[in-house]
Amino acid sequence: MQELVNLFIKSIFVDNMVFAFFLGMCSFLAVSKNVKTAKGLGIAVVFVLGITLPINFILNKYVMEPGALAWLNPKYASLDLSFLSFIVFIAVIASFTQLVEMIVEKFAPALYNSLGIFLPLIAVNCAILGGSLFMQERHYETLAQATTFALGSGIGWFLAIVALAAIREKLSYSNIPAPLRGLGITFIMVGLMGIAFMSFMGIKL
Amino acid sequence: MNKKIFIEPLFRNNPITVLVLGICSALAVTVKLEPAIVMALSVTIVTGFSSFIVSILRNTIPNRIRIIVQLVVVAMLVILVDQILKAYAYDVSKQLSVFVGLIITNCIIMGRIEAYALGNKPLPSLIDGLANGLGYGIILVIIAFVRELFGSGTVLGHAVIPAGWYIKNGGFYENNGLFILPPMALIIVGLIIWVQRSISKDLIEK
């Protein structure tokens, strides 16, 4: 249990998806102009990450790892399907976002109207695929670990985008050199936020 | 015509600094020049050929499921690149780790397919894809060059700062460790945008 809590805190702050690995940058920069939409996208990311990552974990553990098919028949113990992982992961994520979009549209129209446009965007958000690839590379052992990691990194992404959106809202009152306005200053700001987040790196859990 | 398609993305319509596409997997691979060059080449190849293939298929893909079809085409090309890297450049492939796989969700690729390849003939799409990949590569190489030079005092692994300059050898110079850290990549992109927009003033945002 303690180990899971550590993993959770670590994936929110120390290994933050945005500031430590630059994942999900495109939508991070594009959809952070105001806090309300940033919140919507952040929640959608937590949601999709929290569901696709465990699915991919199960697929990886029981289908694609070297020797993973041994449970089906001892003959298959020498098979290694790990080269298929990219295509399987992205297919799960893309079909899942499409599915979630349909379900949310049918059963929670209010939520759909607030998230609607962001859901399809999430299929190509690298934070989601990145989560699955990190899960594979770091060899998480149990489903609980994988789920904790997914929720932690989702929440880390959520915090980052809401913080950036809040700063950008304030920014409209400041006097910035013309060529730096908009995109340029945003990049520099994200860099500075990243430096601030690095102070968490010293934490040993 | 084709020449214009090729030149535009390199500077005027650069995918990173103007269109803000494909920053996701780009910045983490720019600590050293070598992985950055490999990454730039891989992305160029994948962008070019995925645009080409989708453009051939553009009249047969049903509109509703086009995202999944496009992702499958891209994922197939990325698997090829990944396997080739693992076979012939294993060290670099290890350094790039998950970021090879993340080429799939690189927004440049989907962006060019959606914006260009779906409505144009195969050959111009191929050129457009390659040029956007190169425009991305140029920025990647500039960032990696600056970070490697100031961060480790080397270029492509060769030391360029004379050893006698370092403080530990009685000199006055010290590598700036900040350049190795991820946030510096973002700040360098910000500065590149500043320079580019000072040169071409019409890109300035209100």
| pLDDT per residue as tens digits for the range A32-67 | 878 888 888 888 888 889 989 999 999 888 888 777
Q: What is the pLDDT of residue A3?
A: 86
In A, residues 69-98, which contact B (CB 8 Å cutoff)?
83-87, 89-91, 94-95, 98
pTM of the model: 0.81
pLDDT above 70: percentage of residues in chain A: 95
Question: Nearest-CA neighbor of A203 among A23, A1, A11, A18?
Answer: A11
Residue B158's SS3 state is strand
Closest-CA distance, B199 to chain A, in angstroms, reads: 9
B78, B190, B191 ranked by CB distance to A86: nearest: B78
Q: When comparing pLDDT for B14 and B142, which is higher?
A: B142
Closest Cα to residue B94, out of B86, B83, B84, B104? B86
Which token pair is B50? 């995925």
Cβ–Cβ below 8 Å for A191 and B201: no
Of B76, B102, B182, the CB nearest to A130: B102
Out of A22, A86, A190, the one facing B24 most closely (by C-beta) is: A22
Sign of CA dihedral A89, A146, B85, A122: positive
Alpha-carbon distance of A168 to A165, in angstroms, equals 5
Q: Residues B62-118: pLDDT tens digits?
A: 877 777 888 888 889 998 998 898 898 888 888 887 788 888 877 788 888 888 888
- Highest-scoring range by mean pLDDT, A195-204, B3-12, B40-49: B40-49
Q: CB of B185 within 8 Å of any CB in chain A? A: yes
Mean pLDDT across the stretch A18-27?
A: 80
Q: How confident is the model at residue B26 (pLDDT cuts 50, 70, 90)?
A: low
Residue A148 has pLDDT above 90, yes or no: yes
Q: With 90 as the cut, is the pLDDT of residue A155 above it? A: yes
- Asked whether residue B10 carries a pLDDT value surpassing 80, the answer given is no
**Chain B interface includes A176 (CB < 8 A):** no
C-beta atoms of B72 and A87 within 8 A? yes
Q: pLDDT tens for residues B46-65? A: 999 999 999 999 888 887 77
Nearest chain A residue (CA) to B204: A179
Tally C-beta pairs within 8 A across A and B.
148
Number of domains chain B is built from: 1
Mean pLDDT of A65-85: 77
Structural domain that includes position B20:
2-205
pLDDT given for residue A70 in this prediction:
75
Q: Could you give the 3-state DSSP secondary structure of residue A4?
A: helix
